[in-house]
Amino acid sequence: MAALSVSERQRRGRFRDVHGYISARVGLPTFFYNGCDLRKIAKACNITIDEVRGQLRKLGYELKENKKGMKIWRLPNDKNKMQSLRE
């Protein structure tokens, strides 16, 4: 199977929702930056950033601040929640 080209990976609307985007990743992401990462997800799912935030909240991600003061969406340290995202 051939690898996807850059244009195919970045094609708008490639995924139906945020859960599909997350489950297609090789490693389960434990956090996303509030700005740049959410824009990438919104473009990949062809939805608005506000819709991405709502779907992340439904999946169990929480909006927090890291040590440098940047806003990030982070999964709580709950192994059961991380496993349920994979299903």
Domain annotation for the chain: domains and CATH numbers: 14-86 (1.10.10)
The pLDDT value recorded for residue 83 is 52
Nearest to 56 by CA among 31, 87, 26: 31
The pLDDT value recorded for residue 9 is 56
Per-residue pLDDT 10s for the chain (87 aa) are 455 565 665 567 788 899 988 888 777 788 899 989 999 999 999 999 999 999 999 999 999 998 999 999 998 875 555 455 555
Q: Which residue(s) pair with 74 in the sheet?
A: 31, 62
- Rounded to 5 degrees, φ, ψ at 10 are -100, 10
The pLDDT value recorded for residue 13 is 77
